[in-house]
Structure 1
């Protein structure tokens, strides 16, 4: 295995272990392209954690735009993840616009502006997690993938919202609020109170409403998931964990506002194995 390939795989294993596990269920010749997509996602999702300041973060996002937009698809830039991604885009004819939209959405991560509304949150999830699922599906089976674009949208919303709920304590600590302002208002709270308050009843109700929203999208995904061909399952496997994470949040003694819900490694392996081998039952 080439050194760069190892570096890309290790990037995913370290930064996004759940997606790393899902890629192992893909055919061997599809794993490296999937790792390149997931490593790219980890790179841009982690910009705020590494750089901390918004303007340098935007510069980094622009660097990725320039790399992806470059006409010389085969030209290497000396960055293992970027080179692997460019090779994947070229080999699998992936739409560069999807990456541009993903990078544009990630600007939100760099600032402390509140998420305005439920529809804005769904748009953010669509441009990030849903787009990543669809791109992975195009790598796995370009013929079947377009038929499941709508399902990828639902899956991405469910998976991204679950991920954001898991990050609530971290986001509150650094002054971010991904819980939509309209949901907070309906719960008797506000973005400012949610971030700086003590996580009281309003924050609890808002978190519960966001869990319900994630479940709504997860349920819609599961309604159609039984139709997924085996070839596309690895792209959607992160959804095998979403329901279990949401269950854990609802049953935990402490609120997801204050404590991160966790699944054991054994539990995650079992859930992924079950869906990878059996698929989703008819809902």
Structure 2
């Protein structure tokens, strides 16, 4: 087995542990594309978790800078010794993927390290697009498409926003506010109210508004996906999952400050398998 093959296998193993949903979705892809999806998604999983593993923003910044340097070809030796970096760089070269999109993803992740709230809905939309829509677009290219911007932009907003909403209790515990200030203000709320577990009714109203936005983007994305060639649609299999979480958050008895919304692994796997676009 070559070193390159070992790198891709390592990405698959890391992805299975860090982001099982994307790992499962990638299993439906053709054999030739699957290792490259593993590399892309394993990179994303590693970067997305940086904020969970650093105690100070400067440490997160340093890890991001390493990835920026690696993508810019400035750490060739170190990158070749890192299975995820080596596999990602090989995938970029093989499919001529736009490095700037991945650099934009890294730049957007800086927001994760700091206490500042999302200032407005436009900021949050761009954050979701830079961190999630890009993954749909690059997966589409790996599967032989052209990036499917018409589908990838709303797909990323819907998938990322749903994930942020379901993780609200975890964000509150960290005193991090992804809910946009302009949306909170319309309902008479501030981040302080969230951190104090106050005004539950108003918080549920905010979540209802945000869930409606996620549903709108999800419907737009699914309509666009149905118009794509069949092989390219595999890049969007994950769109089977947001509905499972949105349905729970829209229940009348939903407590926004309880534990993060979860769906059993077998239900998620079943939804991914049943997704016929």
TM bucket (normalised to shorter chain) is over 0.9
Quick one: distance in 1 between partners of 2:9 and 2:199? 42
RMSD, matched Cα: 1.9
Distance 1:100 1:3, change over 3 A: same
1:71: how far off?
6.7
Greater shift, 66-75 or 157-166, is seen at 66-75
1:226 aligns with 2:229: no
> Match for residue 40 of structure 1?
43
1:9 aligns with 2:12: yes
> Match for residue 236 of structure 1?
236
Among 71, 78, 101, the alignment partner of 1:98 is 101
Greater shift, 221-230 or 23-32, is seen at 221-230
TM-score under structure 2 normalisation? 0.93
Matches for 1:11-160 after TM superposition, within 5 Å: 11-70=14-73, 76-141=79-144, 144-146=145-147, 148-160=148-160
Residue 206 of structure 2: SS of its match in structure 1? helix
> Match for residue 267 of structure 2?
267
Quick one: distance in 2 between partners of 1:39 and 1:176? 24
Residue 92 of structure 2: SS of its match in structure 1? helix
1:222: how far off?
2.4
1:213: how far off?
1.4
1:176: how far off?
0.4
TM-score under structure 1 normalisation? 0.91
> Match for residue 177 of structure 2?
177
Quick one: distance in 1 between partners of 2:9 and 2:127? 31
Quick one: distance in 2 between partners of 1:61 and 1:114? 20
The answer as to whether partners of 1:68 and 1:96 remain within 8 angstroms in 2 is: yes
The answer as to whether partners of 2:8 and 2:36 remain within 8 angstroms in 1 is: no
1:199: how far off?
5.6
Greater shift, 57-66 or 244-253, is seen at 244-253
Quick one: distance in 1 between partners of 2:256 and 2:42? 27
Structure 1 segments of 4+ aligned residues over 6 angstroms from their partners: 71-75
1:110: how far off?
0.6
The answer as to whether partners of 1:203 and 1:257 remain within 8 angstroms in 2 is: no
**Structure 2 residues without counterparts, runs of 5 or longer:** none
User: What per-residue deviation string (whole Å, max 9, x for no partner) do you get for residues 76-115 of structure 1?
Assistant: 5311111111111111100010011000000000111100
Quick one: distance in 2 between partners of 1:213 and 1:104? 24
Quick one: distance in 1 between partners of 2:61 and 2:78? 24
Distance 1:171 1:128, change over 3 A: same
Quick one: distance in 1 between partners of 2:272 and 2:154? 19
Distance 1:56 1:74, change over 3 A: closer
Question: What is the aligned residue count?
Answer: 274
The answer as to whether partners of 1:207 and 1:257 remain within 8 angstroms in 2 is: no
The answer as to whether partners of 2:33 and 2:143 remain within 8 angstroms in 1 is: yes
